[in-house]
Structure 1
């Protein structure tokens, strides 16, 4: 069983050959930490850890560390633990998001709250938060980065609360959207890149550009997620259905609502709110795709990707920085 898991992990890290050893160490660290005496909770935690996450945020942290300091050791235990803390925080927020949204699936698999029940899911998310704090205490005693992590958690929460406050609001603007995305998605990308620069041993003047790179990359990443919700497959995709049902209007829909003709078509459908039928949602998707909204969304995502790449030029030119550049471009072009 253990050998099968290791083989699977190695296949997962093939996209990050420069840091594959460290990513395996991060994965091992997570599995060692998410241990408890409750069988159902333990099963839920392992299911979340093994359900196909790409470890994008730990990879961002480790690559930024290597970019800022090419001599950064791949056997740095503290760096591995900090990277693990980022992924554990991410996992906890995903579990809680699925509970709030009543999501039946996560990453193509049955969600924790659907498979094990909401009670176990809440406990799983809470336990992950405690593991996150344990890792911070071990790796950052007396460091200002304890405060940095606390502020990042508040930004994530504020982004989620801001999005909740805009539910079913057809008059929300791009400024509202960006404010929420800066919190709920970009804050964790920013934290990963910033901590990579700092704990990788890079000079202090590299921390700022690294943080800005992560933030802009995170914004572009969320925008592409929003676009793929509408264009990523045949028929109505699950995230679109969930978003429309719960009143979360993502970037393509917001752009479509800015066009008077398209807004007139969407208005009566969105006015139904939670009473929208599947046919209504499919019609919303068709209207959005037929408009210029997807094109406008891609252009805006491209702008933030270019900002991220510009931030990268402030870091030393080396193999890791070039890999980060490649990562930014690949995220913009991804189809899933």
Structure 2
């Protein structure tokens, strides 16, 4: 079982993440063995497993750490994440993820959508067995509503150059930060953490998620396809306008409009020109500064949580994510 190399420095956590994937795989039972094999391959497709890692680490916040339960909660959250990614790839028409062909590329959109739906079912199947209370299960249901609401907001804003910083951040809060927040909160609450500690875990996860998505959006402009596992500047081609572009357009929107009005007809030369404009108006630098502010807020909430080995590991992960050394 291949777990991302970023966890090599934390062998105990790496072993628990392997158990997370094993649990997810054990719940995939489909009569058609070809379909079952495809879904199991998706589970082991090489993601970093950040959200289950945060959940596992936060499960050490309270006094009632239960390894089996913490692994189960982490597995449910990762299954939810995988389900949203499968649907994302259909909507974005992405051919690859983590360097591998996406489900809808291998088969078709219907297969991918039903596969994502199946993963949603597995998520709540696991949660229903292991969640401490119905209230916690309902909390996760409401969180999923916000996640999907963020996805719908992004879909509805495609090819709309008028996207503001406020609306972008609201979209990210639902689309990405919500799942980071619920991962941290779920780990903490299932460990019997005090209400204040669980809320610090929630806020830490929220700010981590905000910083993570902004940094991910920055990489869409200046990263490499080999590193990202997806086409560079694909967001703009898909009509998804993110923070570096939004900041740059605040300085001179008229310079961008003739290009963005082309929508799907943008050429490679157009993309180069957009990239140069974003660089000229320091869109990436401004976005990076905001990601740093969110990271500092996350660290502030981490510092308020009970001491333990988990805090040092959480700090290490946060730092590496912002520097994008993983």
TM-score bracket, shorter-length normalisation: over 0.9
Cα distance change of structure 1 residues 61 and 145 upon mapping to structure 2, 3 Å threshold? same
Aligned equivalent of 1:302: 292
Structure 1 unaligned residues grouped into runs of 5+: none
Q: Report how many aligned residue pairs link the two structures.
A: 324
Give the deviation of 1:319 after TM superposition: 1.5
CA distance in 2, matches of 1:280, 1:197: 47
Aligned equivalent of 2:145: 154
Q: What's the CA shift string for 1:113-160, capped at 9, x where partnerless?
A: 111222221121111111111111101264211111111111011111
CA distance in 1, matches of 2:322, 2:7: 20
Q: Would you say the 8 A contact 2:176–2:210 is kept in 1?
A: yes
- 2:309 equivalent to 1:319: yes
Aligned equivalent of 1:102: 93
Cα distance change of structure 1 residues 96 and 181 upon mapping to structure 2, 3 Å threshold? same
Q: Would you say the 8 A contact 1:18–1:320 is kept in 2?
A: no
Q: Would you say the 8 A contact 2:62–2:189 is kept in 1?
A: no
Q: Would you say the 8 A contact 1:44–1:116 is kept in 2?
A: no
CA distance in 2, matches of 1:122, 1:148: 25
Q: What's the CA shift string for 1:236-271, capped at 9, x where partnerless?
A: x855543222210011111111112xx332211001
Give the deviation of 1:18 after TM superposition: 4.0
- 2:273 equivalent to 1:280: no
CA distance in 1, matches of 2:262, 2:59: 49
1:91-240 matched pairs, under 5 angstroms: 91-140=82-131, 142-233=133-224, 238-240=230-232
Aligned equivalent of 1:35: 29
Partner of 2:219: helix, strand, or coil?
Answer: helix
Aligned equivalent of 2:47: 53
Give the deviation of 1:276 after TM superposition: 1.3
Give the deviation of 1:55 after TM superposition: 0.7
Partner of 1:9: helix, strand, or coil?
Answer: coil
- 2:27 equivalent to 1:69: no
Structure 2 unaligned residues grouped into runs of 5+: none
What RMSD, in angstroms, separates the aligned Cα atoms of the two structures? 2.0
Q: Would you say the 8 A contact 1:192–1:214 is kept in 2?
A: yes
CA distance in 1, matches of 2:322, 2:5: 23
Q: Would you say the 8 A contact 1:40–1:120 is kept in 2?
A: no
Aligned equivalent of 1:79: 70
CA distance in 2, matches of 1:307, 1:99: 34
Partner of 1:286: helix, strand, or coil?
Answer: helix
Aligned equivalent of 2:19: 25
Q: What's the CA shift string for 1:45-69, capped at 9, x where partnerless?
A: 1221111011100000011112x13
Which stretch of structure 1 is more off in the superposition, 324-333 or 16-25? 16-25
Q: What's the CA shift string for 1:179-218, capped at 9, x where partnerless?
A: 0000000000000000011112322321111100000000
- 2:8 equivalent to 1:14: yes
Q: Would you say the 8 A contact 2:218–2:288 is kept in 1?
A: yes
- 2:205 equivalent to 1:245: no
Q: Would you say the 8 A contact 1:44–1:120 is kept in 2?
A: no
Q: Would you say the 8 A contact 2:172–2:213 is kept in 1?
A: yes
Q: TM-score normalised to the size of structure 1?
A: 0.91
